[in-house]
A and B are shown apart, each in its own frame.
Chain A
Amino acid sequence: MTTHDKWIALKTIAIKEILRFSRIWVQTILPPVMTTALYFIIFGNLIGPRIGEMEGFGYMEFIIPGLIMMAVITNSYSNVVSSFYGSKFQRHIEEMLISPIPNYIILIGFLTGGVARGLMVGIAVTVVSLLFNPLNVHSIPVMFSMIILTAILFSLAGLINGVYANSFDDISIVPTFVLTPLTYLGGIFYSISMLPDFWQSASLLNPILYMVNAFRYGFLGISDISLLISYGISIGFIVVLYVFCLYLLRKGHGIRT
């Protein structure tokens, strides 16, 4: 397979993945936008003014980056896990497995779908946030790079979940019992400087904290964590998960007999 053939194969998978979630936008794009709008109304508009300032910013301004990031994390993850598990369940993953496409192209194709949905939802949530608060922009490169890295990371995590899942229950266990708690405890609604020392240290074990803080830096120019460490941890996780995903595809775990 030539490089050109691989590029076409990648485009095909990417288009297929993007069309998949776009066709069912009422299930994939609209719900996270609605949910986040409710967060803006309740935490931002109704409760926020009573909370007062956070790190020198209004509460609404403080939580907007975290809420965008939360939408990106959950949607990039759930897109890949449901798409990959669906392709296993209906067995149309076999279409790719019998073809000459290398595993890394299959992997990048699924990631493209996850990142596209994550970004699409992220943009939609950002637009909705404008109804409640003007957008603060401190560093566009940090904003974009961190949101893309986060979408890639959680797309990879979603694929691993999809590979190991044997039922539809298995694709909801990790998002419900791992991803959601880590996201809520990842500094979306508060600065970790407010926490007692022990919980500050415990929070540092949560990788989502680093992404939320770096992303918030892109908006507000503030972060509980060094930007360099945030990038290092994000890229490090991506490399490890990417290699692990390739290993799973090569071994055919859950997809080959």
Chain B
Amino acid sequence: MTNALTIKDLRKTYKGGHEALKGISLEVKPGDFFGLLGPNGAGKTTMIGIITSLVNKTSGSVSIYGHDLDTEPSAAKSFLGLVPQEFNFNMFDPVIEVVANQAGYYGIERKLAFERAEEYLKRLDLWDKRRVMARTISGGMKRRLMIARALVHRPRLLILDEPTAGVDIEIRRSMWQYLREINAAGTTIILTTHYLEEAESLCRNIAILDKGELIKNTSTRELLNTLHMETFILDIESPLTRLPATGDLKMTLVDERTIEAEICRGDSINELFSELSNAGVKILSMRNKTNRLEELFMNLVESSNDSGIRS
């Protein structure tokens, strides 16, 4: 089966000598939900820029669904949709025109373009804002507008560059759900994000870039098993002034009755209990630090939505 994306020995050296990509090779299978992770400056956005023709590469090749970007640019680009990191639509155009015009650039008749724009604006809860100038809508709406715009020509490969940056949890969760639906319907998705939880929740495969090099390319499950640390918060009975000696376990005393412990996902937490118990520390309760506040916030938002508090 033809790959959704094939990248071979991709290199980019900017004027001044900065080597942003140092020979990346990567394959994304059709139908995948693929995460592209890495710290700031790792080369993620440069790589996406090259795939989307916004950045000129130094060398290497990119093909989208078997069409080489150099030799068959028009065919390759027709498969692609992009939600960039920064807002890049005409702020003075009405919302609906931002979406419908994009459809026109892919050869979709104006009447059908507006019908498609209606479909996606409704799905992304922007229909009420269709006639207002794009600059007047909120940040979260702008993000959703860029998703509607990227989908309007029904691309087979959708690239999202930090689509949920600065978006509140409620909207982020609804965007995740929508992306899952799009992926389930057959669209291949490549996602870059700084939220590991987002990648964990959505992506089946993950590649990690660092300083222009691919340092990991594996399934999410495997990656989480090897890399992902979980932080647990332990409430203890008796106050402590300092942590007991507990071998290799990584712990922090938050206050005299609270300990934070970091454990690799997949590792047993029996050792933690055993070490603390041996040191005479009695544990009253334990909770996972990562998702607790988020869940609590979501519950509050959902319950206030149900009671009509939040408009």
A, B from the same assembly: yes
Could you say which of B78, B80, B102, B105 has the most chain A C-beta atoms within 10 Å of its C-beta? B105
Scoring A residues 16 to 33 as 1 if CB is less than 8 Å from chain B, else 0, what string do you get?
A: 100110010000000000
Among B46, B82, B90, point to the contact of A87 (Cβ < 8 A): B90
One of A35-43, A89-97, A141-149 contacting the partner: A89-97
Q: How far is the CA of A252 from the CA of B54 in the complex (A)?
A: 8
In contact, B54 and A100 (Cβ under 8 angstroms)? no
For A11, what are the chain B residues with a Cβ–Cβ distance below 8 Å?
104, 110
Chain B interface residue count, CB cutoff 8 Å, equals 36
Q: How far is the CA of A11 from the CA of B109 in the complex (A)?
A: 10
Contacts A90-B90, A252-B56 given: A8-B104 contact, CB under 8 Å?
yes
Contacts A12-B101, A16-B97, A91-B86 given: A98-B78 contact, CB under 8 Å?
no
A108 to chain B, nearest CB (A): 14
Interface residue A182 (Cβ < 8 Å from any Cβ of B): no
Interface residue A9 (Cβ < 8 Å from any Cβ of B): yes
For A86, what are the chain B residues with a Cβ–Cβ distance below 8 Å?
90
Contacts A9-B107, A12-B105, A99-B105 given: A94-B74 contact, CB under 8 Å?
no
In contact, A95 and B106 (Cβ under 8 angstroms)? no
Which residues between 85 and 99 of chain B lie within 8 Å of chain A, taking CB atoms? 86-93, 97
A22 to chain B, nearest CB (A): 13
Q: How far is the CA of A60 from the CA of B142 in the complex (A)?
A: 53
In contact, A90 and B91 (Cβ under 8 angstroms)? yes
Interface residue B108 (Cβ < 8 Å from any Cβ of A): yes
Among B80, B90, B107, B110, point to the contact of A92 (Cβ < 8 A): B90
For A100, what are the chain B residues with a Cβ–Cβ distance below 8 Å?
73-75, 77-78, 105-107
Could you say which of A86, A98, A101 has the most chain B C-beta atoms within 10 Å of its C-beta? A98
In contact, B105 and A101 (Cβ under 8 angstroms)? yes
Interface residue B49 (Cβ < 8 Å from any Cβ of A): yes
Q: How far is the CA of A15 from the CA of B110 in the complex (A)?
A: 10
In contact, A90 and B54 (Cβ under 8 angstroms)? no
10 residue pairs A–B, Cβ–Cβ below 8 Å: A1-B107, A4-B107, A8-B109, A9-B105, A11-B104, A13-B104, A86-B90, A87-B90, A90-B91, A95-B101
7 tightest Cβ-Cβ pairs between the two chains A and B: A5-B107, A12-B104, A99-B105, A91-B88, A100-B74, A100-B77, A257-B55
Residues of B within 8 A of A (CB): 14, 46, 49, 52-56, 73-75, 77-78, 80, 82, 84, 86-93, 97, 101-102, 104-110, 113, 149
